[in-house]
A and B are shown apart, each in its own frame.
Chain A
Amino acid sequence: AQTVTQSQPEMSVQEAETVTLSCTYDTSESDYYLFWYKQPPSRQMILVIRQEAYKQQNATENRFSVNFQKAAKSFSLKISDSQLGDAAMYFCAYRSLSNSGTYKYIFGTGTRLKVLA
């Protein structure tokens, strides 16, 4: 069974600095998707970025980028020029094909990011 591990329960970063959140996963599949979701204090779940496993190029969305290491099964999120609005819980998620032919999503336990002014 696939698993997703976020080993950092909490991280802090100074405003305008860069921070990297870690995520590792375990799978025997070769084709899958990985996601980072953000949950601010409002508790909404907001998609930050996604990565297709077959793409070697790391995904980038403005100040957010990933370091995808397929062989190491690592999928870290880098936030550049951190802003106060980046303070949130960040969840890493893995999507795979289930036995029933549809997709299942497995979420990590989350990393709480604090941004210091």
Chain B
Amino acid sequence: DSGVTQTPKHLITATGQRVTLRCSPRSGDLSVYWYQQSLDQGLQFLIHYYNGEERAKGNILERFSAQQFPDLHSELNLSSLELGDSALYFCASSVDGDSPLHFGNGTRLTVT
């Protein structure tokens, strides 16, 4: 168990809808990273938050947004969903010191 919790595990929704994915980092970790992994693809970096502040953006669509709250949990909001948004979305956390990334189990999003 990595200590990173992601909910929900699975999400099935229709095109055009909006969903929110939630991540609770490991206790003490200030950094939260979001990644998207489409079927049999590598990890695409979406966004990084550190202690409530956005620190880096990757290939994140304008329809997607994220935030990190004072209690350090993070949410990834995906709107106007398209079929191509179907993927596994990972959250990972770290202390940004010597610690590596610790991944949650992911949220599998299916857009129909």
Which A residues are closer than 8 A to B by beta carbons?
Answer: 33, 35, 37, 43-47, 50, 52, 91, 93, 95, 98, 100-110
Contacts and interface: CB of A to CB of B under 8 A. Distances in A.
B17 to A, nearest CB: 23
Chain B at the A interface: mostly helix, strand, loop or mixed?
strand
A33 B97 CA distance: 11
A103 B94 contact: yes
Nearest to B102: A47
30 contacts: A43-B88, A43-B106, A43-B108, A44-B105, A45-B90, A45-B92, A45-B103, A47-B100, A50-B100, A91-B42, A91-B43, A95-B100, A98-B55, A98-B56, A100-B50, A100-B55, A102-B31, A102-B55, A102-B56, A102-B96, A103-B31, A103-B94, A103-B96, A104-B45, A105-B33, A106-B45, A107-B42, A107-B45, A109-B42, A110-B42
